[in-house]
Amino acid sequence: MRKTEQFQVSYSELAAPRAVRGWGFLYEWLDSLVYAFLTILLVFTFAFRVVGVSGESMVPTLQNGDWLAVRAVNMTVERGDIVVITQPNELHEPIIKRVIALGGDTVDIDFTSGTVTVNGEVLSEPYIAEPTHRQFDLTFPLTVPQGFVFAMGDNRNNSLDSRSSTIGFVDERYILGVAEFRLFPVGEWGLEPNA
């Protein structure tokens, strides 16, 4: 009988540390998961914003339904950047466009040839769907006021943008952020055209 009691004591002593180790592992795993979630939450709340693409105005670069990570801090807007604009307009929703010109730049568009000129230089635009033939109500050339940008969609003939007084020049204060990478669809991270 003594050996059985001794065996039971030994078995229970061995079993208890395993249970503690099991809960300890689970606690550490959950702790790591919570910290990872909080880190992602903070990054995407303060440093980045997640924005969905709605519409065809940025085809072939962005497709309807794509999701973007948009840098909202330490933001310097440059020509060629894809930006999210929250400037009030008749659309009543944020829009995603490419910055073509900055404050002080002069923009001219030849709607016959479809070329866009900034400060006398014809832009090389490998990202556009087709040449710029669609004209709206603004007359070119135009000089962009300081503190504003001129932005257009990559799908030039299917985009309401700075060529129209509906959007016009975009006040830099209404630029929510600069697109950094694509979150969805998974695997298509870059911002190059998908044509």
**Using CA atoms, how far apart are residues 106 and 179, in angstroms rounded to an integer?**
24
H or E stretch covering 55: none
pLDDT digits (tens, 9 = 90+) for 83-96: 999 988 777 789 99
Does residue 97 have an active-site annotation?
Answer: yes
Residues 6+ apart with CB under 8 A from 39: none
SS3 167: coil
DSSP H helix total and E strand total for the chain: 1, 11
Q: What is the pTM of this model?
A: 0.77
Q: Residues 12, 54, 57, 159: which is the catalytic one?
A: 57
pLDDT digits (tens, 9 = 90+) for 116-173: 999 999 999 999 989 999 999 999 999 999 999 999 999 999 999 999 999 999 999 9
Q: Residues 3, 97, 162, 165: which is the catalytic one?
A: 97
CB 49 within 8 A of CB 176: yes
pLDDT, the chain, mean: 86
Does residue 124 have an active-site annotation?
Answer: no
H or E stretch covering 36: helix 2-42
